[in-house]
Amino acid sequence: MVALVSTVAYLGLEARAVEVQCQIAPEMPGFHLVGLPDKAVGESRQRVQAALTAMGLALPPKRITINLSPADLPKEGSHYDLPIALALLAAMDVCDAEQLADYIAVGELALDGRIIASPGVLLAALHASAEDKGLICPAAQGSEARWASGISVLAAPNLVSLLNHLKGVQVLPPPEQGEAEAKPHGPDLKQVKGQETDKRALEIAAAGGHNLLLCGTQDPMIGGDQGRANLLMIGPPGAGKSLLASCLPGILPDLTPGEALEVSMVASVAGALEGGRISRARPYRAPHHSASIAALTGGGLKVRPGEVSMAHLGVLFLDELPEFQRPVLDSLRQPLETGEVTVARANAHVTFPARVQLIAAMNPCRCGHLGDPALGCSRAPRCAADYQSRVSGPLLDRIDLHVEVDPVSASDLALPPPAEGSRDVAARVARARAIQSSRSEQTGARTNAELDGEALDTFATSDEPGRKLLMQAADAMRLSARGYTRMLRVSRTIADLAGVENVGRIHVAEALSYRRQPPRAKSLSASSGQTLELAFGAFALGGRHLGAELALPVHHCLGVPDAYFEHMGHGFAFQAGAEGRLTTPCVGAGALLAGRAIAVGQHLEARFGAAL
C-alpha cells in the first residue's frame, strides 16, 4: 500500500503541488527519502522518527520509502516534516489516508511532536483555496492561513491533537483571522523646516510612484575643465536628506486589500509575517550600505526575497548611495525597469516581485563638505569626482527626480514649524492616486510610474507648447529614450496633482526642472542660447497664488562674457527684470537654478516674495 499526502514547494511566490508518497515494504529495515530533497528535507527523517517516538509509536522493522513527487523539482525547507509524518502514519494505518486526501499539509516538527511554524503558509493556503482543499498547518500560523477565504484550516499545536481531531476524539478550534496592523507613525513633514522645493518633489514622487534622488547644488569648482559636470554634486551632511526620505511613508496612500495580500505573500515566504497580521501600510526598507547582491535582490543557498522584493509596492531607501558596492547598485537596474527580479540557479529560476519606489541620498564626497574651504578636505575637487563616479549613469537614468537639498541655516531652524504637515500633503497625494486608479482599467497601471506604450501616449502626451518644449529639451539635455518617457510620466503626475485633465507646458517645465543635466562645454556663448533657455528656465509657470506667468528668459544674460559663466558656478543672483519677470545674470555649470525658480508659485512666493 502507498499512502499519499499533498503539500507544496515554493518557487518565488509560486506554490507548486507536491505529492508525498509513502510505501512500507517487507524488506531490510531502513528509512529512505527520495525526490531531490535538500539538506533540511533530508534531515526530516530524524525529526519525524523522534516525534513519533515521543507519541509512543515505533517505526515498523521494514523498508520505508518516502518519495516527493515530482522527483525533478527541488524540495527545500522544513515544512515537509508534517506531510511526511502524516503519510507515514497513514501507511501504518494510524490515521485515515482518504481523509488526508482533502487537505494540503505544511509544517515543521519538533522532537517532542510539536508542530512549529515554517515560512510560506499564506502561499500554501492560497494554493489550497485554488485546489478546493483544506489546509493543515501549525497553530501559530492559523490566523495567517485564514486570510485565504473559503478553505477549512486545521491549525494544530502538536501531532497528537491533530490525530485526535482526525479520529473525532478531539475538535480543534477554528483559528481567528489575523488582524490588520495599524499604520506606523513616522516623522511628519512639519519637522522639516525650509526645503520647500524638496518637499514639493517628495509630494510628486509619492503621487506618481516615481524614483527620487536627494542631492544638492553643484560646486562651482567642478565643471567643464574635468568633464564631470554631468555628475550630480551632492550637498553636505545634515541638510535633511534622510529626514525627508523617512517622511515619505507618511504621505503615501494605504495599500488596497489586493496589494496588501500581495505584499504579505512576500513577507510570508520570507518568514516575516508574524502572528498572521497583514499591514495596510506600504513597506519601507532601508538596508545598510554593506548589503550584498543576494541581500538586496534575493538569492542565497535557499533562495529568499531580497530587500528590493521586501519593499514591493513600497519604498526602498538607499542612504549613502556611493558607499554601496557598484555591482550591488547595478543589480538594481533590471528590477527598477521591469518591477520584478529573477534569481537564476542551475536547477531553477525564481522570480519575485520588485515594484518599488527607490529613494536615494548621498553626500558630495567622503568628508561631505565639498566647496566649503573651512571644512572640506585637501583632495577636493578630485575626491568628489572619484566618489560620485561610483554610481553608474544607467542607474541614475532610471531615477525620475533629482532634487537639490541645500543646508538649512540656524535662522531657518529657529522658525516655528510650517503650517502644512504630512496630513495635508497626503490628502493631495490621495486625490492624485484616485485619478490614476480611475485610469487603471484602461491602462493596467497602478501609478503613473508604470505607464507605458499606448497608455503613455494616450494619457501623458502634452499640448503643443509642452510637446515643443519637451522635444527641444530632449535634444539640448541629451535625454535618452528612457529619460524622455520618464519626463512624460512625471508631467502626467504633476498634472494630476493640479487636477488638470491634459498635460500642459507648465507641467512639462516643472518635470524638466527635476532632471539631471548633461555635461557642459568649457565655455558658453550666445550660440548656446537654446541650451541655456532650456536648462535655465524659459519654463512658464502659472503660480497658484501669484496669478502671474513667471519665466527666466536667458537672453537677458547672454551678453555676459563667457568667463563670467565659467567662474560664477552656482552663485545665482535673482533680480527683477523687464516686465516683472525674473532674470539671472549668472548661471551654473550646466546645472538647474539653485532655488528651482520654476517650482510652484507658492514656493516662489515664499522664497522670492519681495522681488516678485
Which tens digits make up the pLDDT trace of 253-307?
Answer: 999 888 998 999 999 999 888 777 888 889 999 999 999 999 999 988 788 899 9
Which part of the chain has CATH 3.30.230.10? Answer: 2-178
Which tens digits make up the pLDDT trace of 562-603?
Answer: 333 333 333 333 333 333 333 333 333 233 333 333 333 444
Phi, psi angle pair for 562, to nearest 5°: -60, -40
- Mean pLDDT, the chain, rounded, equals 80
Phi, psi angle pair for 119, to nearest 5°: -65, 150
Q: Which long-range contacts (CB under 8 A, 24 or more apart) does 27-34 make?
A: 27/62, 27/63, 28/63, 29/61, 29/62, 29/63, 30/63, 30/64, 31/59, 31/64, 31/66, 32/63, 32/64, 32/65, 32/66, 33/66, 33/68, 33/84, 34/65, 34/66, 34/67, 34/68, 34/71
| β-bridge mates for residue 403, sequence order | 214
Please give the Cα distance from 592 to 590 (Å, whole number).
7
Amino acid found at 35:
G
Residues with Cβ within 8 Å of residue 547, at least 6 apart in sequence: none
Which tens digits make up the pLDDT trace of 335-355?
Answer: 999 999 998 877 678 899 999
Vertex 276: Cα angle to 285 and 145 (nearest 5): 125
Give me the pLDDT at residue 419, please.
Answer: 79
Please give the Cα distance from 582 to 540 (Å, whole number).
11
Q: Are 109 and 118 in contact (CB under 8 A)?
A: no
320: left (phi over 0), alpha (psi -120 to 50) or beta: left
pLDDT band at residue 214 using 50, 70 and 90 as cut-offs:
confident
Phi, psi angle pair for 165, to nearest 5°: -65, -40
If we measure between CA atoms, which residue out of 590, 520, 576 comes closest to residue 548? 576
**Segment 222-239 mean pLDDT:** 42
Please give the Cα distance from 260 to 7 (Å, whole number).
25
Please give the Cα distance from 3 to 30 (Å, whole number).
17
Tell me the fold of 2-178.
Ribosomal Protein S5; domain 2 (3.30.230)
Residues with Cβ within 8 Å of residue 434, at least 6 apart in sequence: none
Give me the pLDDT at residue 233, please.
Answer: 33
- Cell of residue 283, nine digits: 513597506
pTM (predicted TM-score): 0.78
Domain 192-434, CATH among 3.40.50.300, 3.90.1150.10, 3.20.20.80, 3.50.50.60: 3.40.50.300
Phi, psi angle pair for 316, to nearest 5°: -110, 110
pLDDT band at residue 371 using 50, 70 and 90 as cut-offs:
low
Please give the Cα distance from 484 to 473 (Å, whole number).
9
If we measure between CA atoms, which residue out of 147, 120, 127, 140 comes closest to residue 303? 120
Hey, how many other C-beta atoms are within 10 angstroms of the C-beta on 333? 14
- Could you tell me whether strands 349-353 and 340-344 are parallel, antiparallel, or unpaired per DSSP bridges? antiparallel
Which part of the chain has CATH 3.40.50.300? Answer: 192-434
> Which of 17-26, 143-152, 362-371 has maximum average pLDDT?
17-26
- Could you tell me whether strands 14-25 and 63-69 are parallel, antiparallel, or unpaired per DSSP bridges? antiparallel
Amino acid found at 282:
R
Q: Give burial (CB, 10 Å; 0-12/13-18/19+) of 554.
A: buried
Give me the pLDDT at residue 516, please.
Answer: 64
